[in-house]
């Protein structure tokens, strides 16, 4: 097992708009603990919070390879989803799986809601719903099918046409959409920063300290970091896109690198030219199409690439190439905006499984893992973090029962067959979504 340091390129607008943190510690001595959590995103921080509540007297350590929360948990598009399309639901035969999936999403929303209520967190929460949209009128059949499914499951939704969409979004690009009322938009970095800020006193957090390798010897788990060692009784892996690089469930998940860009705030003239819309969020009907958001401070956020890359870093040169694709996607939708639109561009890592299912289990006695959210981990990561802590404390909950009813991730072949398969699928999906990028 090997792992290189994760590089934080300081290029993500969500993060750049927060106060930088100063009070962080790196691991600089050997330690022993009762519980060790690897990864400090939504999952790891939620696990830590819950563990400390259940086990106030135990020694709990959280370690991250970079600054806590500055991985995908700060780099995502901020859709707290109640429902998803293109997500393993292919026919009515799968409706029970889909029901469990949306139950899990909704438990995730509840987990985030109670966190922000309890700690009075401001993360720009907006229950404004979301649009699954397409610029191709023929996608009306997919839209109708999805709308029927949502109605069967009692999710309020509406099919919108070209004119409705132009009025609501300020672009004439989209021809058809399903609007679902239950989606929530948030500022993802503010949420994860709050999870760091309120960490209970009995949690020790070490940052910029990558786990290099680990093994289990009798009942103890030995974890080798760059300079020091931690010995722990129990360990929880919360590294999501980096599970595979730590050899965790390596035949059930793989990393994908996504890139996104955020514009400067639109000026008054530009804002007026697009009809002064309220905040909105669009997800693509076709997989691999663009996710695009208009924020309450009048910025546009676009994510329109997903690829199999070395998850540890994307070079500036590569990122510049993705930025051109983001710009193309923005200009296509908003041709009248002035130049110098994009302020920041960044990449982030997600974990995928073949059938879009998540990982939540004890893989061996005292070794736990939660992750693989297939690009929808804000709510589910918060939920899974809390619930894996309950499981690691030998307790049960209704939530765990529901989570365990989900379809488990399918087996994946090893590389190079896996790489070839994923790349071929991405290639065809990209081709199908060419107009939507």
Ligand X SMILES: Cc1cc2nc3c(=O)[nH]c(=O)nc-3n(C[C@H](O)[C@H](O)[C@H](O)COP(=O)(O)OP(=O)(O)OC[C@H]3O[C@@H](n4cnc5c(N)ncnc54)[C@H](O)[C@@H]3O)c2cc1C
Please give the Cα distance from 107 to 155 (Å, whole number).
15
Q: How far is the CB of 344 from ligand X (least distance, A)?
A: 12
SS3 212: strand
Q: Is 329 in the site for ligand X (CB under 6 A)?
A: no
Q: Is 284 in the site for ligand X (CB under 6 A)?
A: no
Enter the tokens of residue 431.
Answer: 């081709």
Q: Is 66 in the site for ligand X (CB under 6 A)?
A: yes
Total number of residues shown for the chain: 437
Ranked by CB distance to ligand X, the top (closest) residue is: 377
Please give the Cα distance from 232 to 61 (Å, whole number).
9
Instruction: Identify each DSSP E strand in 265-314 by its residue range.
Output: 280-284, 291-294, 300-307
Is residue 5 within 8 Å of 65, Cβ to Cβ?
yes
Judged by beta carbon, residue 73 or residue 142, the one nearer ligand X is: 73
Contact residue for ligand X among 35, 173, 242, 280 (CB under 6 A): 242
Q: How far is the CB of 293 from ligand X (least distance, A)?
A: 8
Q: Is 63 in the site for ligand X (CB under 6 A)?
A: yes
Stretch of 69-77, 85-93, 152-160, 261-269 lying at the interface with ligand X (CB under 6 A): 69-77
Owner of token pair 């399918």: 410
Site for ligand X, residues 357 to 396, rule: CB under 6 A: 371, 373, 375-378, 381
Q: Is 82 in the site for ligand X (CB under 6 A)?
A: no
Which of 117, 109, 120, 123 lies closest to 180, judged by CA? 109
Q: Is 104 in the site for ligand X (CB under 6 A)?
A: no
Stretch of 147-155, 198-206, 235-243, 271-279 lying at the interface with ligand X (CB under 6 A): 235-243
Q: Is 255 in the site for ligand X (CB under 6 A)?
A: no
Which of 134, 130, 131 lies closest to 286, judged by CA? 134
Please give the Cα distance from 254 to 413 (Å, whole number).
11
Is residue 229 within 8 Å of 30, Cβ to Cβ?
yes
Q: How far is the CB of 112 from ligand X (least distance, A)?
A: 10
Question: What's the alpha-carbon Rg for the chain, to the nearest Å?
Answer: 21
Judged by beta carbon, residue 129 or residue 381, the one nearer ligand X is: 381
- The site for ligand X (CB under 6 A) is made up of 3, 6, 38-44, 63-66, 71-73, 75-79, 81, 210-211, 238-242, 246, 258, 260, 303, 348, 350, 371, 373, 375-378, 381
């Amino acid at each position: 097992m090997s792992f290189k340091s994760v590089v934080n390129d300081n290029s993500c607008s969500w993060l750049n708009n927060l106060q930088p943190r100063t009070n962080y510690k790196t691991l600089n001595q050997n330690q022993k603990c009762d519980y060790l959590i690897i990864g400090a995103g939504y999952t790891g921080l939620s696990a830590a919070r819950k563990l400390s509540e259940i086990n106030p007297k135990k020694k709990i350590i959280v370690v991250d390879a970079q600054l806590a929360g500055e991985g995908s948990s700060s780099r995502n598009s901020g859709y707290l989803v109640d429902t998803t399309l293109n997500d393993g639901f292919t026919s009515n035969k799968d409706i029970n799986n889909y029901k469990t999936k949306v139950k899990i999403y909704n438990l995730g929303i509840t987990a985030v809601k109670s966190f922000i209520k309890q700690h009075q967190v401001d993360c720009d929460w907006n229950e404004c719903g979301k649009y699954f949209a397409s610029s191709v009128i023929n996608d009306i059949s997919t839209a109708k099918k999805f709308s029927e499914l949502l109605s069967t499951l009692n999710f309020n939704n509406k099919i919108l046409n070209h004119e409705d969409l132009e009025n609501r979004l300020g672009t004439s690009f989209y021809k058809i959409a399903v609007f679902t009322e239950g989606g929530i938009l948030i500022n993802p970095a503010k949420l994860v920063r709050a999870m760091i800020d309120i960490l209970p006193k009995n949690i020790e957090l070490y940052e910029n300290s990558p786990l290099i390798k680990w093994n289990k010897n009798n009942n103890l788990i030995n974890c080798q970091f760059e300079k020091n060692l931690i010995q722990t009784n129990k360990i929880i892996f919360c590294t999501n896109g980096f599970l595979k690089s730590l050899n965790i469930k390596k035949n059930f998940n793989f990393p994908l690198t996504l890139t996104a860009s955020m514009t400067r705030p639109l000026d008054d003239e530009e804002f007026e030219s697009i009809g002064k819309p309220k905040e909105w969020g669009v997800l693509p009907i076709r997989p691999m199409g663009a996710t695009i958001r208009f924020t309450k401070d009048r910025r546009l956020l676009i994510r329109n690439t997903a690829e199999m890359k070395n998850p540890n870093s994307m070079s500036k040169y590569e990122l510049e190439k993705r930025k051109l694709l983001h710009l193309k996607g923005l200009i296509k939708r908003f041709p009248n905006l002035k130049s110098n639109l994009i302020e920041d561009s960044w990449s982030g890592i997600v974990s995928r499984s073949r059938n879009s299912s998540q990982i939540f289990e004890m893989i061996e006695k005292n070794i736990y893992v939660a992750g693989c959210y297939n690009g929808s981990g804000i709510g589910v990561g918060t939920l899974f973090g809390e619930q894996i802590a309950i499981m690691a404390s030998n307790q049960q909950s209704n939530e765990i029962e529901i989570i365990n009813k989900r379809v488990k991730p399918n087996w994946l072949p090893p590389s190079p067959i896996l790489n070839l398969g994923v790349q071929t699928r991405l290639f065809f999906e990209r081709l199908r979504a060419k107009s939507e990028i």
